Structure 1
């Protein structure tokens, strides 16, 4: 089971992406727990995550989020993948980063 936390300004814009990622995971037979939070909720949720993916609107806060989630990989979701809500590609990114 991979625990993937998506982070955006308020947790709302990533909600659709979460659903698309869950659908892609089900199609690929990958066990995941995916949820979205606002940037101000990262610290409270960091211990539950294996990886944190940031939406474009909070990529400026990557260093701060990394400090709030020590030991948890933090990465930016690509602008194209985010804009197109490409759940399959973002899921693949998360899985690849968890392997490192």
Structure 2
């Protein structure tokens, strides 16, 4: 499964990707995550099976959903993002599929 994380600049979501990858590996789940800034979302949206957006740009949810063409799109849980809780975000991903 391919998971795309979108945020305003892509830096903080890159750290979240590492946490999600670690949580998935601990569960033996095959998952590929990548983070991009909003401006580059179009380059990766077709690759993704699931799209998560950083809570700081949750107001862009409708725009991202329209670009995702029916793929599941959600804002990352604010508390999980703030604490960089990869396991909690992985649970959110599982709930989306």
TM-score range, shorter chain: over 0.9
Q: Aligned-pair distance for 1:79?
A: 0.8
Contact 1:46 1:72 in 2 (8 A): no
Q: Aligned-pair distance for 1:46?
A: 0.8
Q: Aligned-pair distance for 1:86?
A: 0.3
Matches within 5 A, 1:21-100: 21-98=20-97
Equivalent-residue separation in structure 2 for 1:91 and 1:18 (angstroms) = 10
TM-score using structure 1 length:
0.93
Instruction: Count how many residue pairs are aligned between Structure 1 and Structure 2.
Output: 97
TM-score using structure 2 length:
0.95
CA RMSD of aligned residues (A): 0.8
SS of equivalent to 1:13: helix
Equivalent-residue separation in structure 2 for 1:78 and 1:9 (angstroms) = 16
Q: Aligned-pair distance for 1:17?
A: 0.7
- Unaligned regions of 5+ residues in structure 1, if any? none
SS of equivalent to 1:7: strand
SS of equivalent to 2:11: coil
SS of equivalent to 1:48: coil
Equivalent-residue separation in structure 2 for 1:26 and 1:69 (angstroms) = 26
Moved segments of 4+, more than 4 Å: none
